[in-house]
Amino acid sequence: MLNATLTYDTLRFGEFEEFPETAEPVWILGRHFSALTEKDEILSDVSSRLWFTYRKNFQPIGGTGPTSDTGWGCMLRCGQMILAEALVCRHLGRDWRWHRGQRQREEYVSILSAFIDKKDCYYSIHQIAQMGVGEGKSIGQWYGPNTVAQVLKKLSIFDSWSRLAVHVAMDNTVVIEEINRVPHRPVSERLCMPWLDYAGAACSEPEPDPQRGLNGCLEGACAMAVEEMVLWKPLVLLIPLRLGLSDINEAYMETLKQCFMLPQALGVIGGKPNSAHYFIGFVGEELIYLDPHTTQVAVEPSHDGQVPDDTYHCQHPPCRMNIRELDPSIAVGFFCQTEEDFDDWCMRIRKMSCSREALPMFELVDSQPSHYASADVLNLTPDFSDSDRLERFFDSEDEEFEILSL
């Protein structure tokens, strides 16, 4: 773990272990590399991921709260990183690359701006910390993977630009029926509000005109918006898991590594007890990760809206740790831009589940098993209120949890 007081210059010029010269394949978020012939490409891919670390000297959280998250915000920062990766895939594409010093695309600036350490940014440390109060976590308290997943789900609702559907799969089970309910909005719901556009804003047409398209709106913006709403919303799927007692069960190691090989991979948030990392891939028996345990000064956007972004990209060789050192409490993430992506993900997961070489980490089912509590009972909505009870299954600091059966 990096010392929390390291400066950015230390990060740039300090001593970091070079990437290994190995014939073992390197996998980073669904992309395959060779460490022997593509080292520059590996480093470019890693440095293109948004890297969020501890910050200091930002606005007090809640007006009177902490001005730094050093020592307690590592899982919050990892949550930011896994969601930022989803936004990059959503707006820029997985193969987008960051180049230092170049003026960046408008979409990139919008993504990064959503995570700046200010109270009015969608996914700022301020928003995550304050939303966590509703999950039973006081400001300044360490989060577990499940808590940060639930908070991100709530915050994503206010992000009208990205229009993500964030689903947190509980009880080690991904229910396709529940996911299909989340990204869709029935046509009938839209048709009963003839004077609203897709964002809920009043349509400018004074009365219906059958010659001008659906509900009297102009063919174009409103009609296109209706189509987008009826069809698939880009899906962020987060699955909190417990893969052992005090240590990760070896039976799950190959399955975990295979998750990084899927084209829909967003990575894994987890780490060691009370020390979180954002895992983005693996080589051999080592996991590749971004480490948030470095304190940097909070950044302010310039007068023209540009964000000084050097400190938001890891420009040294990525950190690595043996997979056996991983704390068993994790959350694994996936991103499906289209419904076809989700269907492909389901096919790949089912194929992985049939493998005799690795034990499945979670179950994929078409509909909710009858012996499970209903979603209404658990209230698995953006106003989720039962997380305290469920949190004990997934947070490392609790001694009571559910273990995946062998």
Q: Mind telling me the catalytic residues?
A: 74, 291, 293
Q: What is the spatial distance between Cα 394 and Cα 381, in angstroms, rounded to a whole number?
A: 19
Q: What is the spatial distance between Cα 78 and Cα 84, in angstroms, rounded to a whole number?
A: 10
What's the chain's length in residues? Answer: 406
Q: Are 327 and 272 in contact (CB under 8 A)?
A: yes
* Residue pointed to by tokens 């299954």: 393
Q: What is the spatial distance between Cα 141 and Cα 139, in angstroms, rounded to a whole number?
A: 6
Tokens of 379: 């209230």
Q: What is the spatial distance between Cα 229 and Cα 210, in angstroms, rounded to a whole number?
A: 21
Rounded (10°) angle between helices 74-91 and 106-113: 160
Residue 330 CB coordination number (10 Å): 27
Nearest to 275 by CA among 17, 72, 6: 72
DSSP-derived letter for residue 142 is: P
* Residue 14 burial by Cβ neighbours in a 10 Å radius (0-12, 13-18, 19+): exposed
Q: What is the spatial distance between Cα 394 and Cα 29, in angstroms, rounded to a whole number?
A: 23
Q: What is the spatial distance between Cα 132 and Cα 126, in angstroms, rounded to a whole number?
A: 10
DSSP E strand boundaries for 176-309: 235-242, 265-272, 275-283, 286-290, 295-297
Neighbouring-strand partners of residue 133: none
Distances (CA, A) of 348 to 258, 264, 335, 343, 356: 10, 10, 14, 9, 15
